[in-house]
Amino acid sequence: MKEKVWSMLREAIAVNERSFPWERAVGAGLSMALPIFIGLWLGQLQYGLIAGLGGFTYLYAFRLPYAHLSKRIFFVGASIVLASFLGSISSPYPVAVAIIMGLISAVMLFIFNALKFIGPSSIFFVLIFALTADMPEVGLSGALFRTGLVALGATLSWTIAMSGFLINPHRPEIQTLRRAYRQLMKLTESVGTPHFQHDKYLAMAAFKEVEETLMAGELPWSPSETYTHLLHLTLEGNEYLLYLVNRYTDEKEALPKEAMLFLEKVDQELKHNLKTVTELNIPTLPDQKLTRHFEKMKVALKHPIHDLKPITLERRYTV
């Protein structure tokens, strides 16, 4: 009983080991502040404040593949613009304001839950609607002008959220795959220990996340070289994981350190966006099948894409 209580207390005060999202904080600050500063510079602070409402769009920008993020942010921005327009034209009618506010909350909550969108759900759509509904009454032209200002702010948020695409178009996919390979390293290190079972399920969940991320980031045209390498690395990582689970679940001895060193080099390649030219030396291990899995990882990482077998998301096997 004492151990159970102590375990509950430890879980209650535990802090998850996650990197500080400083990029999102800076992006949100720019999305909110830039329209206001521009309005202040032009001597139209009130217009800048209204345009700043579109900056709430950025709060729905999470670490997703840019192909998926662009569509999601566009949907959020368009919804915020629509909410501001409805608030502006319904402000003279209190009953209509109450009805529309309820509809916005219900519809957005349903969409976010049905499509499993991550983010603050309907709260900011309702907030934008309430703010514009409480502003001075304007005609249709005034409502359209106000809506246009909000649209400018939402467009700025979309641009800031997508700016990373110009630097590293596959960064979200690489980060997700790197987390999966780190978990694979922990699983390799835990062979022969009581932690193997726990790390096994964490590794399975990590590669499932990679699967979903790559599916979301798939483009309708021919995949890029980086995306193809990531696809093959995911496949080989999955096969390596399955082999460890089937072969080493009841193993009592640890794997050679050379296995960990090889996976660490793969992790470093992912850290540098697959652009390093360091040589990956295949370790010589007693288990020849394990060595073969490492050879496949090297092929997936280093070989030109025309030497790799064409695979699709439908044909790949996942845990």
Domain-wise residue ranges, the chain: 22-165, 171-307
Strand ranges in the chain using DSSP code E only, listed in sequence order: none
Q: Has residue 133 got a pLDDT over 70?
A: yes
Q: Would you state the pLDDT for residue 273?
A: 82
Is pLDDT at 316 greater than 50 in this prediction?
no
pLDDT, residue 238, reads 92
pTM, two decimals, is 0.79
Inform me whether the pLDDT recorded for 67 exceeds 90. Answer: no
For residue 52, pLDDT beyond 80: yes
Q: How far is the CA of 239 from the CAs of 198, 234, 317, in angstroms? A: 19, 9, 8
Three-class DSSP category at 225: helix
- pLDDT of 318 higher than 50: no
Exposure string of 89-111, with b = 16+ CB inside 10 Å and e = fewer, is: bbbeeeeebeebbeebbeebeee
Higher pLDDT, residue 309 or 249 = 249
The token duo for 86 is 């409805």
What percent of the chain shows pLDDT beyond 70? 89
Q: What is the pLDDT of residue 119?
A: 78
Which pLDDT value is given to residue 58?
A: 94
Q: Is the dihedral of CA 262, 318, 110, 31 positive or negative?
A: positive
Q: HSE (CB half, 13 Å, CA atoms) of 174?
A: 20
- E strand residue ranges, 15-127: none
Over residues 143-157, mean pLDDT: 96
Question: Tokens 């470093």 appear where?
Answer: 268
Structure tokens that stand for 139 in this block: 């005609």
136: left (phi over 0), alpha (psi -120 to 50) or beta: beta
Which pLDDT band holds residue 312 (cuts at 50, 70, 90)? low
Taking only the tens place, the pLDDT of each residue in 236-292 is 999 999 999 998 888 888 888 988 999 999 998 888 888 776 677 888 888 888 889
User: If we measure between CA atoms, which residue out of 111, 75, 104 comes closest to residue 90?
Assistant: 104
User: Does 44 score more than 80 pLDDT?
Assistant: yes
Average pLDDT of the chain is: 86
Residue 19, pLDDT > 90, answer no
How far apart, in whole angstroms, are the C-alpha atoms of residue 48 and residue 51? 5
Determine the pLDDT at residue 187.
92
What single DSSP character describes residue 279? -
Q: What's the pLDDT at 117?
A: 82
Averaged pLDDT, 55-76: 91
pLDDT score for 315: 42
- Which pLDDT tens digit goes with each residue over 162-193? 998 888 888 899 999 999 999 999 999 999 88
Burial (CB < 10 A; 0-12, 13-18, 19+), residue 41, is: exposed
Q: Return d(Cα 180, Cα 202) in angstroms, integer.
A: 9
Quick one: residue 121, left, alpha or beta (phi over 0 = left, psi -120 to 50 = alpha)?
Answer: left
The pLDDT assigned to 149 comes to 96
Residue 317 has pLDDT above 50, yes or no: no
pLDDT tens-digit series, residues 199-236: 999 999 999 999 888 887 776 666 788 888 898 999 99
Nearest-angstrom CA–CA distance, 79 and 89? 16
